[in-house]
Structure 1
Amino acid sequence: MKWQLTPIALSLLLLAGCGESGSSEAGPDYGSGGGSNPPPTPTPGEFDQAELVANLVDNVITPTFTSAQQLAAELTPSLAQYCQALSSGGDASAAGGDAQQTWLALMAQWQQAELMQIGPLGSEATLRNRIYSYPVVNRCAVDQDVAFFEAGNINGNPYDITVRTDTRKGLDALEHLLFAPDADHRCPDNLAPAGWNARPEAERWLARCQFAEAVAADLEANLALLQQQWASYAEQLKSAGEPGSEFSDVHQAVNAISDGLFYLDGLTKDAKLGVPLQGFAGACLDEECLSTLESGFSASSIDNVVNNLVAFKSLFEGLEGAGFDDYLNDVGNPELAQRMVADLDAVIVDGTTYPGPLSQVLTEDPERVAQTQAGVKTVTDQLKVDFISSLALELPPTAAGDND
């Protein structure tokens, strides 16, 4: 159930390690601040876990995937207009700007979906990576495929984007195609498309745009496939404990959904904030740093972080329906539920009030970025111990043994 946001949080709210799985083992002072308030023992059967699963599936996760697919469908005609403007030789800046804005809206929505990597998005991440391969990004590979697509073949074989590696397509490839500061390739000389940088700039931008159309069509197809596969998996979740479901009981389904929350730890906290802080604090002034940032070219890095947090909060509170906060209330730990919501609100406000893109703040005020990372860590520390222990859930394999 949704807790009331403070007025400032409401006004600023945006749209959007590998080990063995195991249960969290809390120490003797877990959740107490000193041992005087031991964790409650969950009492399965009192809280309606099936209601929690149904609400998160129907009112949080499914609408997120549906919205992403709808926004991808809007990107295709936007790119067509941009390519037409480029091919006519006129001013394509307005059409290009429209395509960029459509991509930004789609990326904002997908950043919320990133915390919902279960079922079709969680099985070895194959479908997810075709949609968005971050943190594995290769701009040179994208530039190579612009040339391959333009030629229509690779070593004599017809070009087929569906069989190309993940780093050559998807949302991250589209960012490079739409937001790169110039039309030059990003390849070492031995891998560069032959003669690319010597070609007229307008010709290169058109080739990029035409490849972007193919990438967008492939992305739309993969998002449609996600919808199809998710519909089946959603029924498995909602029928947990019934004959035919892959979940023997509803608590397993709750655990599966909770696994997605841990994206906030390994990706948001560590990869999106920690890695840039370690390598470029005070000096994010060049393309090397922008290439390290998620969505550095589009200057939407901190927006991605905020959308991750917004998605976490939606799953945690269940919007207007049953959420993990209600489950915590039921097992006797309302203090944890309220504290996690307050900490989420605080770091969301922090992220939405950045004076500029992450690259700028990382250069001018790296302590602010460190503060944001610390705010995210406050949430994930509670997630990995207090939350898991209170609800008798298991850590996902990627989080087991991670104490950072």
Structure 2
Amino acid sequence: MKPRSPRSAPVVCAALASAALASYLLAASPGCDSEGSSRQPASDPTTLVSDAGSFTRSTLLGAFGQCALDGYRKTAQKSALLAEAVRQHESEQSAASLTAARTAFADAMVDYQRIEVMQFGPLAKKVAPGGEGIRDLVYAWPNVNRCLVDETLVARGYEAADFAAKGAVNTRGLAAVEYLLWNEGATNACADTSAINAGGTWQALEAGELSRRRAAYARVVVEDVAARLGALVQKWEPGGGNFLAELESAGTGSRHYGSQQLALNSVMDALFYVDVELKDEKVGRPLALTGSCTIDCGDQVEALHSKLGRAHLAANLAGFRAIFFGCGEGGAGLGFDDLLEGVGAARVATSVHAALAEVDAALSAIPEQKLEDELRAKSAAARTLHDALRKLGGLLKTEVVTVLNLELPGRVEGDND
């Protein structure tokens, strides 16, 4: 992501003037004045007021950072428990140990999927301010290649000392762990022409050996995931890398955020996960509504083998809700809704709340472990979910970013869906 520059105020102001909501949008937009000039100080000390009380942009950014850090801590703890369960399964090789490992995976993924919507700072891609690309090393989905995982299994590539550092991201991470823990069959995901099938090396593996290798492979991968998530926490901890202070000091000494507006934009960029990764990739692609897949796309569901997709989506929405409406119990604490209220645009926050409720209702209408089936069948329930997500994303792309004078992330620009 290139460094952000203030959006053209005359264009924004002209657009606002013609909008139905112009009366409060013009008053709220910090980029518009009587002469159409743009003024965005690096740091704005203005005290704002919402139903959460008085706050500044700095305290709001601190709340975002603390919410993310709390989520990272929980996810790191759950990943450590998952690593222990997988090690136990590798040792025992029993039905009970496999069930325990799967349960630990499902539990860890609830917390991980929540922080998927908090990809700012080191978890984000390297092009983002402070980004180190940690996310793709932990969970590279939708960059998944199950055939490559099977080929690595046959070659025992996971045993290489540098596998965790140099192995392709689509052969490791939590997506690979899901496949390794749930795929118990004797078949693989490769074509007949693949070397492991054409050469007979896969067929030569007897069932017990295949099970042992899957467990060993999963253990190597999940131990790497746990280590990376633990390192992520240390990058944020006040006693460690203290990235938390980077957000709080945006515009006043932060190494990564030259202005508070840039920091706010980075956090908002992360929330667009619900429009791109969730709506387009997790729901739209299997429905053949997004991307290059336009006919039979059912195998592109997120949790193909575990059928945990509905739980993943619910956790994604919980992460979105925590940042947008407050990270505390019942939405307590500061969120983007408070910033909107503080600049006189509470009605926009109310609209987002209503749209999110529609998404929740659409997802709740789909039974547990049935999302994959609904998507593959292109059912009415799955399409209703997609429509609700599109409405939510539309509000983010238009009213929210306009009122707060933010810019759309590059992966969203030009997307009119």
Q: What's the CA shift for 1:352?
A: 2.8
* 1:5-404 correspondence to structure 2 within 5 Å: 23=7, 25=12, 26=15, 28-30=17-19, 32=21, 39-43=26-30, 45-47=46-48, 48-58=56-66, 60-86=67-93, 92-124=94-126, 126-149=133-156, 152=159, 160-188=163-191, 189-192=193-196, 194-231=200-237, 232-278=242-288, 291-319=299-327, 320-355=332-367, 356-363=369-376, 366-404=379-417
Question: Are 1:116 and 1:257, in contact at CA under 8 Å, matched by a contact in 2?
Answer: yes
Q: CA deviation at 1:38?
A: 5.0
Q: Helix, strand or coil for the counterpart of 1:347?
A: helix
Q: 1:330 to 1:182 in 2, by over 3 A?
A: same
Distance change >3 Å, CA 249–CA 152, structure 1 → 2: closer
Per the TM alignment, residue 27 of structure 1 is displaced from its structure 2 partner at its CA by 5.7
Residue 178 (structure 1) shift: 0.5
Distance in 2 (CA, whole Å) between partners of 1:365 and 1:133 is 25
- The TM-score, its normalising length taken from structure 1, stands at 0.83
CA distance in 1, matches of 2:266, 2:406: 9
* Kept in 2: contact 1:315–1:323 (CA 8 A): yes
Deviations 1:32-83 (A, max 9, x none): 3xx776554335624211111111111x211111111101100122112212
Match of 2:37 in 1: none
Residues 41 and 267 of structure 1, relative CA distance in 2, 3 Å threshold: same
Unaligned 5+ segments in structure 2 are 31-43, 49-55, 127-131, 291-295
Question: Residue type matched to 2:415 in 1?
Answer: D
Residue 259 of structure 1 deviates from its aligned partner by: 1.2
Q: Tell me, what secondary structure is at the counterpart of 1:316?
A: helix
- C-alpha deviation, 1:235, in angstroms: 1.5
How big is the shift at 1:400?
2.2
Residues 226 and 108 from structure 1, CA distance in 2 versus in 1: closer, same or farther, beyond 3 angstroms?
same
Separation (CA, whole Å) in 1 of partners of 2:29 and 2:157: 60
* Pairwise CA distance, 1:175: 0.6
Mapped to 2, the partners of 1:57 and 1:385 lie a distance apart of 25
The higher relative CO (CA closer than 8 Å, separation ≥ 6) is in 1
Query: How far apart are 1:214 and its partner, in Å?
Result: 0.6
Q: Write out per-residue CA displacement over residues 328-386 of structure 1, whole angstroms, 9 at most, x where no aligned residue.
A: 11111111111211221231232133125212223556111111011111111010110
Q: Report the aligned-residue RMSD.
A: 2.6
CA distance in 2, matches of 1:311, 1:181: 32
Distance in 2 between residues matched to 1:76 and 1:352, nearest whole Å:
31
Q: Decide whether the 8 Å contact of 2:114 with 2:316 is kept in 1.
A: yes
Output the CA distance in 1 between the equivalents of 2:4 and 2:379: 35
CA shift for structure 1 position 126: 2.9
State TM-score, norm by structure 2.
0.81
Once residues 351 and 249 of structure 2 are traced to their aligned partners in structure 1, the CA distance between those partners, rounded to angstroms, is 32
Separation of aligned partners in 2, 1:328 and 1:149 = 53
Whether contact under 8 Å (1:134, 1:294) holds in the other structure is: yes
Give the drift of 1:289.
Answer: 5.2
Query: How many residues align structurally?
Result: 368
Q: Which runs of 5+ in 1 are unaligned?
A: 1-17, 87-91, 281-287
Residue 260 of structure 1 deviates from its aligned partner by 0.4
How many angstroms apart in 2 are the aligned matches of 1:31 and 1:311?
Answer: 31
Distance 1:256 1:151 in 2: 35
